Structure 1
Amino acid sequence: AYLQKLISLEKQPYFYLVAVRCLCSLLDAAPHFNHRESLLASVVKNLSSSNDVARKLCSEAIRSLFRNEGKHRGEATVEAVRLVSASVKLNDCQLHPDVVEVCLSLKFDEDLGKDESKEEKLKPKKNKRYQNRDVTKPSEKKKIKKELLSKARQEVHADLRAVSFTLDPKEKKMIQRETLAALFETYFRILKHSMNTSNSRYKATSVFPGGSHPLLAPCLEGLGKFSHLIDLDFMSELIACLKKLSGYTDHQGEIPPDNTLSVSERLQCCIVAFKVWRSNLEALNVDLQDFFVQFYNLILEYRPDRDHGEVLADALKTLLWEGKQQDMLRAAAFIKRLATFALSFGSTEAIAALITLRHLLQKNTKCRNMLENDAGGGSLSSLVAKYDPEAKDPYLSGALATVLWELSLLQKHHDETVSGMASNILSMANLNATQNPVQLSSSNPLEAYKDLSMGRELSKPTHKVSQTLKCKRKRRSKEFVALSTDVLEKADCTVGEDELREKLQSHFAVLRGISENERLRTELNHALSSINMYKEYKKQKKASKKSKKAAKA
């Protein structure tokens, strides 16, 4: 009855927040509630609420449900993930990102069942001498005792499992498999929906953040987090889907279709593809050159006021910083493009690009010839004799034929960290191939981006409001001056009594006229209403007389 009352109050706007708060508190306190299904359905439905407070309450309740699986033995987790999957399917992936972002709090134990197998392997084998011996058959009484003992032990174990919150490893593994299946079903549905609508002319308008694909960003983040749990049979299909979503076209020179995905979302597709590949120990026989080509082109499409710089820094870290040594031609193309990029954008993006550039120069020592400032360009020859800055393929850019003249300009950057990093990179030209410059920082591009952006926020002035208030007060003090009594007495402000009397009489005459008009209007309305009532009374009286005459006849 209490739950039904809360669900009914939830529909009323006045009691909406109170009802949602009570539902979330009930789910958090008693997840083993008998009517948990309806309770979970109500909380999951409000994950996509337009009310920020209600949405945060529901998100925290679901996250605490995922964290405290001991209260419900993991069964509520499966139900919640299935409800999320059903909600995504029902609403055609047009929900608030918090609906899918909640699933990032899930935890999966990969070591379940390993202890039993190890124990079986470590069990000592019986000696062959004792195996060949004739064992006397036990008597019937001993058999009966053993059977009774085994039954009693089984009953005790069953009672302990029913009372205790801990699950059997096999049961826990089965529950986690069901949860994982429902989770990946949701992720793949979002990917397919985004893939079907990204290249279409129809662009759905969504009220949720993220445009026409509000669930794609948390979906890609979840795939990157749980990529090591994806079955190998689906890897090739997933990579092909990510390649299509990133906007890559197989034919060179072909104009790509209008992609509704943002640059940040396409960068995330590249990041997830590399995370999936590396999480499986690079065992997949997949060529990721297409993602390098797409990332090479996406760097030029980045805009700091529109896209997320943190995603770009993560892409630099995942694709260029981590992993194996890059090919020389590809590394040279990215070095040149990152130098141009650092010169064109702000300090945070520039420091992430320069740190990646320095890392590539350290790994590819032959590319250090690009630091030479000769008139003829770099001293290394490649297939392309002239640098093409508009080339879409890094192998066809001819970056080895040019020099990094952008670094000399970046040395004069207003930000000390950027100018110092540019000077540090230029010092590599005077070093041997085996030597590396003194590192100013050992952080990766993502960490450097976060540190610099945080430092810029902390360095902002905090007393702007007080300063503006002081300025306003000064202006007011200058504009308004309090006059003394002497000045007022000396001022010529004499007015004739006749003029003053006439003005006052006219003013009060107007006021009397207004009040008189209001009184007359009220009396007129009262008279009209009484006349109308009298007319209605007459009509009713005539109608009653006619009805009486008709009844007598």
Structure 2
Amino acid sequence: MSRVPAAKRRRLTPPDSDASLSPLPSQSRPGVGDFYSRASKWSLEQDYEQRPRKLSKKGKENSKLPIKTPEGWIEQALVPAPDAADTDSFLDSETDNQDDQASVEEQVVQKPRIPAKQQVLEAKEELARLAGLINEDPEEHAGLLRALAKVASSPNTTVKKLALATQLAVYKDIIPGYRIRPLSDTDPTLKLSKEVRKLRDFEQALVGGYQAYVQELAKYAKGSKIGSTPEFASLATVAISCACNLLTSVPHFNFRGDVLKVLVDKLSSKKPDEDFTKCREALETLFRNDEDGNASLDAVAMLTKMMKAKGYRVDESVLNTFLHLRLLSEFGLKGSHTSIDAPSHDATTNGKKPKEKREFRSKKTRKIMKERKVIEKEFQEADATVSHEERDRMQSETLKLVFVTYFRILKARMPPLMGAVLEGLAKYAHLINQDFFGDLLEALKDLINDAELSENPADDGEGEGQDDEAEEVARNATRESLLCVITAFALLQGQDVAKSASALSLDLNFFITHLYRTLYPVSLNPDVERSARSLHLPDPHAASNAARSKVNIQTTIVLLLRSLTATLLPPQRPAAVPAPRLAAFTKTLLTASLHLPEKSCTALVGLMNNVTKTHAAKIASLWHTEERKGDGVFDPLRGDVEGSNPFAATVWEGELLRRHFSPAVREGVRGLERNVGVER
């Protein structure tokens, strides 16, 4: 192995003191020494401090003025301008500008619009899914009621209609058979089990969703006014149909007043349409099916308030809804527009049992019975059972409101509503208090006098004649007078015989005389068998096409038969009818039957059969002239019934009626003659 030589070491000797001061070879040139001598005196820090430099953008002064708002002054933010120094090159800055423009364009471009048909299909699927989940387990999916309401807020009208109809079906299925009471202040703090807490949460969610749904129906139903767009009108039709369905299906549930308001607002319109008819039929169904009377009371109260606010300028069909109230067949007390008679208690004193029938109970027993009554009352409320006392109270308040409306219209003399009011009074006559009979009969007499004046107007001028003609078109005076007669007799028929004879002392000769004078004009009326529901073409020569029978459903001949039955065959005292009255009516009715149509003639001959069966001995002399005494001439046009001298006439109309073209009329006349003893 060869030996590596050792590395050479350089000898470093410190320079001499004199050598350090000696100039270097490079410094031997002239001027270099002066440069270094001056550089040693420079202040580099001071020069750096005085050097100009670029300030940052953050310190730039904001030249924009503040803005004043209701909350105070707001400083405007300074928008930094793009700096060319921040970009590396011209190409980079151009690329950045293009990216910024692309991002702005992406923000401006809207989402692709879905076609209306596709929106409807998606809404149907979503509504079906939500409705299926809710019906499957309402308590578990109560929160989906808000999702249904959210679908109904779609701008698409078709989707709104589908959502409203879906909500209707869902609420009809999940609404319980009781009314949910609002929570009190102490209810949220009570300790409840898991099941009870779940049920309470479901009930509160149901009430909240149902309230929002009813409010939406009320908002959309306002679009049915005249002049609205077809979209709003169609949506209003769906909303009104849903409200009517709710009222007839779940009238016991919460917010019934809001649903009734939707229907009553529609019934306040002057021109009836299909929606108007739906609302009226829904109220009639409610009145017929209401068992406790609470819903009927609310509806009648709202209707009477609406009619009073409009000055009773409403359609008469609205007033005829009162004829469908259930209290007509159930209520047994008497009343007027001010009060209802208290029920009589048999074998009781002030509603308490006599002393001999009271049982002795200890203090402990009375306490137990009191607790049991409280528990039974709670059970009845839970089972939705109604006591007779509560139902009578509701029906009495309803009857009072109905009478108030009828009597106010009678006082105001509203021609379009007089027939409907008289029909209602005739229906409710058995429920009217006896103390009110005198005033009511006087009002009926005034109505009959007004009807006679409207039929025979005075020739005071051309302008007045036109007004009378217009009023005659608007009302049917003959039907109204017949209704007055029916009402007057119905007042007595609904009362006790003893009280009617002794205490009332009412004279009905005025109504009997008017009925007798009406027989001939009614028999010559071509519309005697026509009602408000009859299919009949309007008269082209009439002053107005509004000349139609719109008083009530019954025909004129039916009203006449009811009046004659009450006059000639009173159920209380049939033997009290005098013979001259029976003879005058028999002769006039047989004459009138010659001019009546087939059905009316058959009905009138049937009535005369019943009269001859009951009063054959009093009127048989009309067929047997040798069995009567008297002289003179029969005057059928005389106003006084007994003074017309009916026994001076002979029933020659029987010979013509025996040859009538109708077999029913011929058979009826044969039976009539057999009753009075005529042999053929």
Tell me the TM-score range normalised by the shorter chain. 0.5 to 0.7
Contact 1:82-1:182 within 8 A present in 2 as well: yes
Which aligned pairs between 1:450-529 and structure 2 lie closer than 5 A?
A: none
Contact 1:264-1:311 within 8 A present in 2 as well: yes
The alpha-carbon deviation at position 115 of structure 1 amounts to 8.8
Q: Which has the higher contact order (CA 8 A, sep 6+)?
A: 1
Q: How many residues align?
A: 394
Say yes or no: does 1:311 pair with 2:559.
yes
Match of 1:233 in 2: 435
Match of 1:165 in 2: 384
2:630 to 366, 369, 381: 381
Match of 1:527 in 2: none
The alpha-carbon deviation at position 423 of structure 1 amounts to 3.5
Which aligned pairs between 1:255-404 and structure 2 lie closer than 5 A?
A: 261-282=476-497, 283=500, 284-302=504-522, 303-307=524-528, 308-323=556-571, 324-325=574-575, 326-362=577-613, 363-372=615-624, 379-381=628-630, 385-404=632-651
Q: In the TM superposition, what whole-angstrom CA distance separates every residue of 1:166-204 from its partner, at most 9, and x where no partner exists?
A: 23433332222211100111122232233xx5xxxxxxx
**Change beyond 3 A, Cα 1:403–1:85:** same
* Separation of aligned partners in 2, 1:428 and 1:114: 45
Which aligned pairs between 1:386-425 and structure 2 lie closer than 5 A?
A: 386-425=633-672
Q: In the TM superposition, what whole-angstrom CA distance separates every residue of 1:282-338 from its partner, at most 9, and x where no partner exists?
A: 413111111110000111221442342222222222322343132111111111111
Which amino acid is 1:338 matched to?
A: L
Q: Any stretches of 5+ residues in structure 1 without a counterpart?
A: 198-211, 432-436, 439-553
- Taking structure 2 as the reference length, what is the TM-score of the superposition? 0.52
* Separation of aligned partners in 1, 2:387 and 2:677: 64
Say yes or no: does 1:6 pair with 2:217.
yes
Contact 2:451-2:481 within 8 A present in 1 as well: no
* Separation of aligned partners in 2, 1:356 and 1:248: 30
* Separation of aligned partners in 2, 1:370 and 1:33: 66
Match of 1:525 in 2: none
Instruction: Classify the secondary structure of the residue corresponding to 1:104.
Output: helix
**Change beyond 3 A, Cα 1:110–1:29:** closer
Instruction: Classify the secondary structure of the residue corresponding to 2:234.
Output: coil
Q: In the TM superposition, what whole-angstrom CA distance separates every residue of 1:133-165 from its partner, at most 9, and x where no partner exists?
A: xx9xx8xxxx6x668645643542443343231
* Separation of aligned partners in 2, 1:221 and 1:237: 18
Instruction: Classify the secondary structure of the residue corresponding to 2:594.
Output: helix
The alpha-carbon deviation at position 90 of structure 1 amounts to 2.6
Contact 1:243-1:270 within 8 A present in 2 as well: no
Contact 1:408-1:422 within 8 A present in 2 as well: no
* Separation of aligned partners in 2, 1:172 and 1:429: 51
Say yes or no: does 1:56 pair with 2:304.
no
Contact 1:331-1:364 within 8 A present in 2 as well: no
2:248 to 15, 28, 48: 28
Deviates more, 1:156-165 or 1:412-421: 156-165
* Separation of aligned partners in 1, 2:676 and 2:285: 55
Contact 1:9-1:16 within 8 A present in 2 as well: yes
Contact 1:354-1:422 within 8 A present in 2 as well: yes
* Separation of aligned partners in 2, 1:104 and 1:338: 31
Match of 1:224 in 2: 426
Q: Any stretches of 5+ residues in structure 2 without a counterpart?
A: 1-211, 224-232, 334-342, 459-467, 529-555
**Change beyond 3 A, Cα 1:64–1:115:** farther
Contact 1:81-1:179 within 8 A present in 2 as well: yes
* Separation of aligned partners in 2, 1:232 and 1:354: 35
Q: In the TM superposition, what whole-angstrom CA distance separates every residue of 1:367-415 from its partner, at most 9, and x where no partner exists?
A: 22222478xxx84327xx2111221111121111111111112222111
Which amino acid is 1:30 matched to?
A: V
**Change beyond 3 A, Cα 1:402–1:149:** closer
**Change beyond 3 A, Cα 1:111–1:299:** closer
**Change beyond 3 A, Cα 1:89–1:301:** farther
Match of 2:260 in 1: 40
Between structure 1 and structure 2, the one with the greater Rg is 2
Q: In the TM superposition, what whole-angstrom CA distance separates every residue of 1:204-238 from its partner, at most 9, and x where no partner exists?
A: xxxxxxxx42x333332322222222111111111
Which amino acid is 1:219 matched to?
A: V
What percent identity do the matched residue pairs reach? 28
Instruction: Classify the secondary structure of the residue corresponding to 1:344.
Output: coil
* Separation of aligned partners in 1, 2:521 and 2:358: 69
The alpha-carbon deviation at position 21 of structure 1 amounts to 0.5
Which amino acid is 2:386 matched to?
A: L
Say yes or no: does 1:80 pair with 2:291.
no
* Separation of aligned partners in 2, 1:256 and 1:285: 34
Q: In the TM superposition, what whole-angstrom CA distance separates every residue of 1:493-526 from its partner, at most 9, and x where no partner exists?
A: xxxxxxxxxxxxxxxxxxxxxxxxxxxxxxxxxx
Q: In the TM superposition, what whole-angstrom CA distance separates every residue of 1:466-488 from its partner, at most 9, and x where no partner exists?
A: xxxxxxxxxxxxxxxxxxxxxxx
Match of 2:230 in 1: none
- Taking structure 1 as the reference length, what is the TM-score of the superposition? 0.63
The alpha-carbon deviation at position 256 of structure 1 amounts to 8.3
Contact 1:44-1:83 within 8 A present in 2 as well: yes
Q: In the TM superposition, what whole-angstrom CA distance separates every residue of 1:56-83 from its partner, at most 9, and x where no partner exists?
A: 322332233234435xx43221111112
The alpha-carbon deviation at position 37 of structure 1 amounts to 2.0
**Change beyond 3 A, Cα 1:74–1:373:** closer
Instruction: Classify the secondary structure of the residue corresponding to 1:393.
Output: coil
Contact 1:309-1:349 within 8 A present in 2 as well: yes
The alpha-carbon deviation at position 427 of structure 1 amounts to 4.6
Pick the structure with more helix per residue: 1
The alpha-carbon deviation at position 111 of structure 1 amounts to 6.3
